[in-house]
């Protein structure tokens, strides 16, 4: 984490340098065999998220699609944070009601005193000890899909089916490099050259995705998979944030017909749109990233009501949940 004084904002742009994401995560896993010391156990763990964060948003969506709400509780941080940590400012008294802490960093410090790397969401916390188990966001959702199967709801989709895992992994790798992280490489580029390279790589991959999705409804196979979840959370932030704030402005998502229809198809699928909070998304990026938006002003636009417009992707076939069923409507 950046060494800032209290009240300072974290710095994301380093002059004359390309953006490099810190991927040194706590890689402990929660598995059925408990090999890392943390066995799958309903009610033991709490998923801490923010609806603002695309990496955390993935875990929110997967948890809901699989019906893990009763097995894994969820704590929600507010959309903004300071240099110290994400905070539970949405909860009464600013304290998480299960963990009893005001800041996510308290759970990190319980696991590793003086933890010096990023205090990130999503994080899975062991409730009895109050310590973070893992913040390895790509592995968290994969383990939800493969290790927590005994607690999946009846009719849960197969988001990471064995026969498609190799292809899903291949798609995820290039989408992460060029799109999920590519928008950050544009927004936090410290030089014109770094920005230009990231911009070209981003839109080249979006063009590739357009051709892939022109004749098939989903990224891999004929049902929703982990690959769709990972791409969706970036697309959902594209027009509200990345197009302007991160200078990803060759065109808006709403001006890319295939990807725009694909994104609306997912958004209108239970588990996606109902786990998306555009207000939190906009407030996070524009208020936290003060080195690229010094005023902290949050733009009023764009009008996001167009996410509810018909998408027409049903004509391509496919079944969102395969042989399963959608999750029940949120109460």
pLDDT at 297: 98
d(CA 183, CA 205): 11
- Give the number of domains in the chain: 1
β 45-49/73-76 pair status: parallel
In a domain, 132, yes or no: no
Residue span of the structural domain in which 169 resides? 162-316
177 found inside a domain: yes
Residue 167 lies in a domain: yes
Please report how many Cα atoms fall inside a 13 Å half-sphere around the Cα of residue 231, on the Cβ side.
Answer: 30
The confidence score (pLDDT) of residue 13 equals 79
**55 known member of a binding site:** no
Residue 8 has what pLDDT? 40
Give 260-308 pLDDT, tens digit per residue. 999 999 999 999 999 999 999 999 999 999 999 999 999 999 999 999 9
Phi-psi region of 218 (alpha: psi -120 to 50; beta: other; left: phi over 0): beta
pLDDT score recorded for residue 331: 77
Q: What is the pLDDT of residues 233-270, one digit of tens each?
A: 999 999 999 999 999 999 999 999 999 999 999 999 99
Query: What pLDDT sits at residue 16?
Result: 64
Q: Which residues pair with 46 in a beta bridge?
A: 73, 125
The answer to whether position 103 is within a domain reads no
For residue 138 the two structure tokens come to: 């790509």
In CATH, what number is assigned to the domain containing residue 181? 1.20.1050.10
Q: What pLDDT is stored for residue 10 in this prediction?
A: 60
Low-confidence ranges of the chain (pLDDT < 50): 1-9
Whole-number Å distance between alpha carbons of 247 and 30: 38
d(CA 60, CA 226): 13
At 20 the pLDDT is 78
Q: Note whether residue 77 is domain-resident.
A: no
- What secondary structure, in 3-state letters, does 52-81 show? CCHHHHHHHHHHHHHCCCCCCEEEECCCCE
In a domain, 48, yes or no: no
Q: Which amino acids are annotated catalytic?
A: 53, 184
Q: Does residue 237 form part of some domain?
A: yes
Residue 306 covered by a domain: yes
Planar angle of CA 37, 87, 60, nearest 5 degrees: 60
């Amino acid at each position: 984490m950046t060494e800032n004084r209290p009240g300072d904002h974290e710095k994301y742009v380093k002059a004359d340098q390309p953006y490099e994401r810190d991927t040194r995560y706590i890689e402990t896993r929660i598995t059925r065999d408990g090999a890392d010391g943390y066995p799958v156990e309903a009610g033991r763990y709490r998923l801490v998220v923010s609806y603002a964060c695309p990496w955390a948003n993935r875990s929110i969506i997967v948890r809901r699609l699989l019906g893990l709400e009763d097995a894994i509780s969820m704590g929600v941080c507010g959309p903004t944070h300071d240099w110290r940590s994400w905070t539970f400012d949405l909860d009464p008294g600013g304290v998480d009601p299960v963990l009893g802490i005001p800041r996510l960093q308290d759970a990190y410090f319980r696991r590793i005193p003086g933890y010096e790397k990023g205090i990130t969401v999503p994080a899975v916390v062991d409730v009895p000890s109050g310590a973070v188990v893992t913040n390895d966001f790509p592995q968290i959702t994969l383990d939800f899909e493969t290790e927590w199967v005994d607690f999946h709801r009846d009719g849960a989709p197969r988001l990471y089916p064995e026969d498609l895992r190799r292809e899903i992994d291949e798609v995820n790798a290039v989408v992460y490099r060029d799109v999920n992280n590519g928008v950050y490489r544009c927004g936090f580029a410290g030089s014109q050259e770094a920005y230009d390279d990231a911009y070209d790589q981003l839109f080249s991959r979006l063009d590739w995705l357009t051709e892939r999705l022109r004749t098939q409804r989903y990224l891999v196979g004929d049902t929703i998979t982990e690959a769709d979840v990972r791409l969706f959370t970036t697309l959902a932030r594209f027009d509200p944030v990345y197009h302007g704030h991160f200078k990803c402005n060759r065109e808006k998502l709403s001006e890319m017909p295939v990807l725009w229809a694909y994104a609306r198809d997912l958004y209108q699928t239970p588990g996606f749109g109902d786990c998306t909070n555009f207000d939190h998304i906009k407030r996070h990026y524009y208020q936290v990233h003060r080195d690229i938006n010094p005023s902290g002003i949050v733009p009023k636009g764009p009008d996001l009501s167009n996410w509810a417009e018909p998408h027409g992707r049903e004509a391509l076939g496919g079944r969102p949940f395969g042989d399963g069923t959608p999750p029940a409507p949120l109460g």
